[in-house]
Amino acid sequence: MFKSVLIAVDGSEHAKKALEVACQLVSKEDATLHILHIPEALTHETTLVWGIGAIAIESSREVLEEAGKSVIERASEAARSMGASHVETHLSKGDPARNILRHAEKLGVEAIVMGSRGLGDFAGLMMGSVSHKVTNSAKCTVISVR
Ligand code: ATP
Ligand code: MG
Ligand code: MG
Taking all residues of the chain, what is their mean pLDDT, rounded to a whole number? Answer: 90
Q: How close is the Cα of 12 to the center of ligand 3, in Å?
A: 9
Contact 145, 113 (CB under 8 A): yes
| CA-based nearest residue to 134, from 15, 13, 21, 49 | 15
Q: Ligand 1: does its nearest atom lie under 6 Å from the Cβ of 8?
A: yes
- Tell me the domain boundaries of the chain: 4-145
Mutate to test the pocket of ligand 1, among 72, 93, 131, 143 (most ligand atoms within 8 A of CB): 131
Global pTM value: 0.90
The rounded Å distance from CA 24 to ligand 3 centre is 24
Instruction: Give the Cα separation of 1 and 64 in Å (integer).
Output: 36
Determine the Cα–Cα distance for residues 38 and 24; give it in Å rounded to an integer: 23
Q: What percent of the chain has pLDDT over 70?
A: 88
Could you list the pLDDT tens digit for every one of the 146 residues in the chain?
899 999 999 999 999 999 999 999 999 889 999 999 999 874 444 555 555 566 666 678 888 889 999 999 999 999 999 999 999 999 999 999 999 999 999 999 999 999 999 999 888 788 999 999 999 999 999 999 99
Ligand index nearest the alpha carbon of residue 133: 1
Q: What is the full DSSP assignment across 9-44?
A: --SSHHHHHHHHHHHHHHHHHT-EEEEEE--GGGGT
Q: Evaluate: CB of 34 within 6 angstroms of ligand 1.
A: no
Helix, strand or coil, per DSSP, at residue 102 = helix
pLDDT tens-digit map of 76-91: 999 999 999 999 999 9
Minimum-distance ligand to the CA of 95?
A: 1
Would you say the CB of residue 71 lies under 6 angstroms from ligand 1?
no
In CATH terms, the fold of domain 4-145 is Rossmann fold (3.40.50)
Please report the atom of ligand 1 found closest to the CA of residue 132: 11
